[in-house]
């Protein structure tokens, strides 16, 4: 259902064009009762991205990473953030980009990958649409160390964990990254058929 006829953009101001683009937009929106309302919003455009969960169904393992995220740190997360491999598309097709990002971050050579859904991760302010993938791997598919791009400030550690333990890490507050939680829960429901796991008390 298109809602383009309910939005009239009046003014767009670029507030910052340093790392990515921050804009302030003044627009009119036609409400459900037919009345037009003037609104103002700031949007942060960093492009779209892709994320992937590498999983080994035979050993019931998944591949995760740890890296420093300053926004999480400044908001009280005094630890490295546990994530799935992910990155911005930079004008590439999602599948092409996620293959390259996986190799760069983890050192794993991925075979067949499958997109399972896409989502807007913070639609109140960030324009990014994230494409979510899953892909099978075997231990011998790790052909390099990974670690990310040091020139971009990346210092990424790679580790394997069972799906059981990964789900418990969510419940314990050890995994707090949204895209990672979404893919792990997808895997529990669709890839590993996890029925029960020991769920510790959540740690804030």
Contact by Cβ (8 Å): 52, 98: yes
Whether 20 is in a domain gets the answer yes
70 and 39 fall within a common domain: no
Q: What is the pLDDT of residue 154?
A: 83
Whether 200 is in a domain gets the answer no
Q: What is the pLDDT of residue 202?
A: 47
CA–CA distances in Å: residue 124 to residues 17, 42, 44 = 20, 9, 10
106 and 163 fall within a common domain: yes
Whether 195 is in a domain gets the answer no
36 and 61 fall within a common domain: no
Please report the DSSP string for 104-165 in residue order: HHH-BPP--EEEEEEEESSTTTB--EEEEEEEE--GGGB-S-----GGGT---EEEEEEHHH
Q: pLDDT tens, 98-154?
A: 999 999 999 999 989 999 999 999 999 999 999 999 999 999 999 998 988 888 788
Domain that holds residue 41: 4-45
Q: What is the pLDDT of residue 197?
A: 47
**CA atoms within 13 A of residue 113's CA, in its CB half-sphere:** 23
Burial of residue 138 (number of CB atoms within 10 Å: 0-12, 13-18, 19+): middle
> How many structural domains are present in the chain?
2
Whether 41 is in a domain gets the answer yes
63 and 20 fall within a common domain: no
Whether 70 is in a domain gets the answer yes
| pLDDT tens for the 204 residues of the chain, in order | 899 999 999 999 999 999 899 999 999 999 999 999 999 999 999 999 999 999 999 999 999 999 999 999 999 999 999 999 999 999 999 999 999 999 999 999 998 999 999 999 999 999 999 999 999 999 999 999 898 888 878 899 999 999 999 999 999 999 999 999 999 999 999 999 765 545 444 455
φ/ψ (deg, to 5) at 176: -125, 0
Give the pTM: 0.91
177 and 115 fall within a common domain: yes
37 and 114 fall within a common domain: no
Whether 201 is in a domain gets the answer no
Q: What is the pLDDT of residue 149?
A: 85
Beta strand pairing call for 36-45 and 81-83: unpaired
Whether 40 is in a domain gets the answer yes
Burial of residue 115 (number of CB atoms within 10 Å: 0-12, 13-18, 19+): middle
Burial 10-35 (b: 16+ CB within 10 A, else e): eeeeeeeeeeeebbeeebeeeeeeee
């Amino acid at each position: 259902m298109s809602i383009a006829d309910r939005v009239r953009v009046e003014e767009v101001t670029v507030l910052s064009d340093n790392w990515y683009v921050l804009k302030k937009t003044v627009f009119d929106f036609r409400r459900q009762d037919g009345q037009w309302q003037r609104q103002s919003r700031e949007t942060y455009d960093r492009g779209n991205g892709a994320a992937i969960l590498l999983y080994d169904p035979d050993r019931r393992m998944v591949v995760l990473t740890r890296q420093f995220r300053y926004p999480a740190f400044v908001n009280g997360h005094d630890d490295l953030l546990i994530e799935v491999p992910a990155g911005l598309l930079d004008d590439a097709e999602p599948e092409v980009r996620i293959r390259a990002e996986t190799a760069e971050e983890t050192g794993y050579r991925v075979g067949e990958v499958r997109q399972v859904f896409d989502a807007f991760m913070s639609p109140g302010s960030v324009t990014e649409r994230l494409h979510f993938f899953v892909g099978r791997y075997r231990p011998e598919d790790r052909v390099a160390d990974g670690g990310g791009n040091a020139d971009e400030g990346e210092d990424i550690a790679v580790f394997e964990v069972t799906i059981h333990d990964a789900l418990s890490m969510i419940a314990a507050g050890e995994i707090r990254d949204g895209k990672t939680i979404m893919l792990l829960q997808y895997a529990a429901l669709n890839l590993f058929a996890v029925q029960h796991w020991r769920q510790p008390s959540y740690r804030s």
